[in-house]
A = this chain, B = another copy of it.
Amino acid sequence: MTERVVFRPLYQQIKVLLIQALKAGQWAPGSIIPSEFELAAQYGVSQGTVRKAIDELVADNVLMRRQGKGTFVSSHAEPRAEFRFLRLVSDAGEAMTPENHILGVQRILAPDLLAQQLSLKPNDSVVEIQRVQFFAGQPINFEHIWLRGDQFKKLTADLLQSYQGPMYALFERQFAIVMVRAEEEIRAVAASADEALQLKIAVGTPLLSVYRRSFSYGEHAVEVRHSRFITHHFHYQHELN
């Protein structure tokens, strides 16, 4: 009848401490963190234990190692991260940088389902963004993006439209929100009147519908988005293992 004590490896505890430090903004995206030996000294464990904690965070894409230089906080502002959350490529296989057109930004009360998905209370607000993405000059993706109102207080259409680069990079700079992970649900749907209008296609054209829920450090749900892609000359990439 003894109490069952859950066994927690030391390196897991170190990992949690590192995530908390990241969450608290102790190290900004793109910046270097202390060396393995420094962290080991701070936490009172061996370098190998810190190493294992960092190994997992690197596997999760939270940190990046550069041999001879140090360990860095992953950032969506880095060139190599540009297509990390953008899996649409041309049928020739090349990833392309889209042009973004913001259609509108507004603050609304979160509907029930959305509130639940973002862990919001009833009557909490969300920011709704509508935009169209152009690839090679063609409107390819029409999407709605919903963000926690409390964490994006000063987000405006002007800010979004003026920013060059991935939206997630803007979120890092202006709102200290770092996207770490996302879950997607993918379907084929027929274009509605609104979708057809925005994408300049016929009503009923098959579209790739992607619902995404994105998380920041510590599995904190921050964003929901609904994208609809024309996949006539582009496709979504996916890897199974």
B59, B182, B204, B205: the one within 8 Å of A239 (CB): B182
Q: Which residue in chain B gives the minimum CB-CB distance to A59?
A: B59
Q: Is A206 located at the chain interface by the 8 A CB criterion?
A: yes
| Count of identical protomers in the assembly | 2
B208–A186 touching, CB < 8 Å = yes
Tell whether, in the assembled complex, residue A188 and residue B185 are in contact, meaning their CB atoms are under 8 Å apart.
no
B241 touches A185 (CB 8 A): no
B187 touches A235 (CB 8 A): yes
Query: Which residues of B lie under 8 Å from residue A2 when comparing CB positions?
Result: none
What are 27 A-B contacts with C-beta separation under 8 Å? A59-B59, A61-B241, A84-B240, A85-B240, A181-B239, A181-B241, A182-B239, A182-B241, A183-B237, A183-B238, A183-B239, A184-B237, A184-B238, A184-B239, A186-B186, A186-B231, A186-B235, A186-B236, A187-B208, A188-B188, A189-B206, A190-B205, A204-B204, A206-B207, A208-B208, A212-B240, A238-B238
